[in-house]
C-alpha cells in the first residue's frame, strides 16, 4: 500500500469520507504559494525570538520556578526582557498571575486610568468580555463605577476608520485609546499592523500624550512586525493564544513603555510592589519553550484559517476574511446561517480534538457574554485558543469563529471533520463538494 493509500485509509478510520477528503485536497493544492509565504514569515519571526533569547543569555537556570513572594526570580525577569526585545518595547510584564487576555487588558486599563479619565475606542464596540470591564454593560467593579467614562467611534461601512468622528471624539478627558486588532464576535475586518500604525499616528497628531493600547490577541507573529513597532504604547495579549505556543498553561503579557507597564504591574500586585513580586511556580520552562515555538505554531494555525475559508467559501458560505484576502490574525469566521449549522460545525471540531473528543459541546450562558455561546475545544490547556477550537454566540447570523491547531496537520483534520459533521447532518450535500 502506498503512503497516499495509507493516508486515505487513516482518514476513513477517523470518519472522514473520501468525498470530503478529496474536496479538501483540491482546496489545499491551490494554496501552495500562500502557505509558502506564511512559512517565510514564520522563519523571520523564529529568528527574531531566537535572537532575543540568545541576546539575553537564556540558560537552564532560568527554567527554575520560584515560590512565595517570588523575589529575585531571574527566569521571570529574563523572560520579560526577551518579550520586550521581541516586541521592541522598553519593558514587559509576563506573568502566570494574569489569568486571561481580558484580565491583562483590565489591569492595563485600571492601572493607567483615574476617575474623570475617558477611554476611546476608534474601532467600534470591543469584545464582549471587555464591555463589562468598561461598564458598557452593568457589572460590579467596572471602570464606570470608578468614574471612568467610555466613548466609541464605529468603523465606516467599508471597514475604514472614521477619522472625522475620531477627531471630534478626542477631548480633554481622553486618556487612553484602546484598539482591538482582531474582530472578536463581529464581522469587521481584522486590522493590519500597518493600519494600526496609521490610526495611532493620526491620534497622536491630535493629542500626543494620549496612551494608545492595542489588544493584540490572536495577532502575534502573523506579520513580521507588531503594533509596538508602529507607535503603540502598550500591546496586550494572552499566553494561551499565539505567544504561548500551546505550552503555556496560563498567563498574559503587557509590553510597552515602562511607565505604563509599571502602572499595570501595580494594579496586578499592589502599589509599591509592582513587578518585584510574583512567583512563577515552575512554569518558566513552558513559557520560554512556548514562546520559542510560537512563530511555527501560529503559522500552522494561520494555514488552517485559510484552508477553512477556501473550503467553506466554495460551498457558498460567507467567510470573513474571504479565501484570498491577506491575514492579520488566526481567526476565521464563517456565517453558518442557522443555529443547527453553527452547532454542527462545533461538534465536528470537538470530534477532531485529542482531548474530550467523545463529548458533545452545547450552548450555555457563559459569563461575560450577553447571549448563549457554544464552544468546542478539546485542549491540553483548558480554554487554549491557539489549540484547535471553535466557538460562536447563538445569535444571527450564527457565525462560527474557528482558530488554532498546534500543527497544520491537526488544523486540516479539524476543518475536514467540521465539514463531515455538516454532511452527516444533511446540512451540506456530498454533491455540493464535487
| SS3 assignment, position 193 | helix
Rg, the chain, Cα only: 22
Strand partners, 342: none
pLDDT at 187: 77
Give Cβ neighbours of residue 293 (< 8 Å, ≥ 6 apart): 245, 246, 247
Give the per-residue pLDDT at 434: 65
Q: Are residues 74 and 209 in the same domain?
A: yes
- Which 3 state secondary structure label does DSSP give 347? helix
- Which CA distances in Å does 182 have to 124, 185, 311, 361, 409? 12, 9, 22, 25, 24
Alpha carbon 350 to its chain's center:
19
Q: Of 191, 182, 196, nearest to 230 (Cα)?
A: 196
Q: Which domain holds residue 201?
A: 66-281
Task: Please state, in angstroms and rounded to a whole number, the distance separating the CA atoms of residues 413 and 16.
Answer: 9
CATH number at residue 365: 3.90.1150.60
- Looking at the fold, whether 323 and 408 belong to one and the same domain comes out as yes
Contacts of residue 17, defined as CB under 8 A and 6 or more positions apart, other chains included, come to: 420, 423, 430
Shared domain check, 142 and 9: no
**90 and 233 both lie in a single domain:** yes
Note the pLDDT of residue 367.
73
- Give yes or no: residues 264 and 328 share one domain: no
Predicted confidence at residue 138, as pLDDT, reads 87
Look at residues 240, 261, 281 and tell me which one is the last residue of a structural domain: 281
Do 39 and 76 lie in one domain? The reply is no
Q: Are residues 298 and 214 in the same domain?
A: no
In angstroms, the CA 229 to CA 380 distance is: 32
Helices (H) and strands (E) in the chain, counts: 12, 12
Nearest CA to 280 among 103, 84, 65, 8? Answer: 65
Cα–Cα distance for residue pair 259/192, rounded to 1 Å: 26
Predicted TM-score (pTM) of the model is 0.95
CA distance 225 to 227: 7
Contact criterion met (CB below 8 Å) for 92 and 275: no
Shared domain for 233 and 355, answered yes or no, is no
Does residue 49 form part of some domain?
A: no
Each residue's pLDDT, cut to its tens digit, for the chain (434 residues) gives 799 889 999 999 999 999 999 999 999 999 999 999 999 999 999 999 999 999 999 999 999 989 999 998 999 999 999 999 999 999 999 999 999 999 999 999 999 999 999 999 999 999 888 999 999 988 999 999 999 999 999 999 999 999 999 999 999 999 999 999 998 777 788 999 999 999 999 999 999 999 999 999 999 999 999 999 999 999 999 999 999 999 999 999 999 999 999 999 999 999 999 999 999 999 999 999 999 999 999 999 999 999 999 999 999 999 999 999 999 999 999 999 999 999 999 999 999 999 999 999 999 887 767 789 999 999 999 999 999 999 999 999 999 999 999 999 999 999 999 999 999 999 998 777 76
C-alpha 233/C-alpha 213 separation (Å) is: 6
Query: Among 281, 311, 335, which residue terminates a domain?
Result: 281
Structure confidence at residue 368 (pLDDT): 67
Domain count of the chain? 2
> Beta strand 332-335 with 399-403: parallel, antiparallel or unpaired?
antiparallel
Judge whether 280 and 99 are in contact, CB under 8 Å.
no
User: What whole-number distance in Å separates Cα of residue 145 and Cα of residue 124?
Assistant: 22
Amino acid at each position: 500500500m502506498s503512503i497516499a493509500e495509507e493516508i486515505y485509509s487513516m482518514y476513513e478510520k477517523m470518519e472522514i469520507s473520501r468525498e470530503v477528503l478529496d474536496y479538501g485536497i483540491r482546496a489545499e493544492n491551490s494554496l501552495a504559494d500562500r502557505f509558502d509565504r506564511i512559512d517565510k514569515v514564520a522563519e523571520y519571526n523564529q529568528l527574531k525570538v531566537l535572537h532575543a533569547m540568545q541576546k539575553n543569555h537564556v540558560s537552564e537556570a532560568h527554567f527554575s520556578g520560584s515560590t512565595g513572594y517570588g523575589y529575585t526570580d531571574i527566569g521571570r525577569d529574563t523572560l520579560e526582557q526577551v518579550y520586550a526585545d521581541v516586541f521592541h518595547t522598553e519593558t514587559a510584564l509576563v506573568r502566570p498571575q494574569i489569568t486571561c487576555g481580558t484580565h491583562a487588558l483590565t489591569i492595563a486599563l485600571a492601572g493607567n486610568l483615574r476617575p474623570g479619565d475617558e477611554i476611546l475606542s476608534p474601532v467600534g464596540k470591543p469584545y464582549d468580555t471587555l464591555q463589562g470591564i468598561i461598564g458598557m454593560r452593568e457589572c460590579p467593579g467596572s471602570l464606570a463605577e470608578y468614574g471612568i467614562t467610555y466613548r466609541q467611534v464605529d468603523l465606516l461601512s467599508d471597514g475604514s476608520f472614521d477619522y472625522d468622528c475620531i477627531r471630534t471624539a478626542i477631548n480633554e478627558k481622553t486618556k487612553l485609546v484602546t484598539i482591538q486588532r482582531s474582530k472578536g464576535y463581529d464581522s469587521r475586518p481584522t486590522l493590519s499592523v500597518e493600519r494600526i500604525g496609521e490610526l495611532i499616528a493620526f491620534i497622536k497628531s491630535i493629542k500626543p500624550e494620549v496612551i494608545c493600547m492595542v489588544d493584540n490577541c490572536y495577532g502575534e507573529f502573523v506579520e513580521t512586525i507588531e503594533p509596538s513597532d508602529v507607535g503603540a504604547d502598550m500591546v496586550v495579549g494572552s499566553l494561551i493564544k499565539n505567544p504561548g505556543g500551546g505550552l503555556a498553561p496560563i498567563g498574559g503579557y503587557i509590553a510597552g513603555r515602562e511607565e505604563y507597564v509599571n502602572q499595570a504591574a501595580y494594579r496586578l500586585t499592589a502599589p509599591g510592589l509592582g513587578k518585584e513580586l510574583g512567583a512563577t511556580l515552575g512554569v518558566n520552562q513552558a513559557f520560554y519553550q512556548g514562546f520559542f515555538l510560537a512563530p511555527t505554531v501560529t503559522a500552522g494555525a494561520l494555514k488552517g484559517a485559510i484552508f477553512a475559508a477556501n473550503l467553506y467559501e466554495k460551498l457558498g458560505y460567507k467567510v470573513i476574511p474571504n479565501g484570498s484576502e491577506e491575514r492579520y490574525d488566526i481567526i476565521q469566521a464563517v456565517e453558518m446561517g442557522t443555529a443547527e449549522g453553527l452547532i454542527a460545525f462545533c461538534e465536528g471540531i470537538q470530534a477532531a480534538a485529542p482531548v474530550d473528543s467523545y463529548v458533545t459541546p452545547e450552548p450555555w450562558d457563559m459569563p461575560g457574554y450577553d447571549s448563549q455561546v457554544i464552544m468546542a475545544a478539546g485542549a491540553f490547556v483548558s480554554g487554549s485558543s491557539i489549540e484547535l477550537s471553535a466557538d460562536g454566540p447563538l445569535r444571527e447570523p450564527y457565525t462560527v469563529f474557528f482558530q488554532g491547531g498546534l500543527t497544520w496537520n491537526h488544523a486540516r483534520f479539524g476543518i475536514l471533520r467540521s465539514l463531515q459533521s455538516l454532511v452527516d447532518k444533511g446540512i451540506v450535500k456530498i454533491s455540493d463538494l464535487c
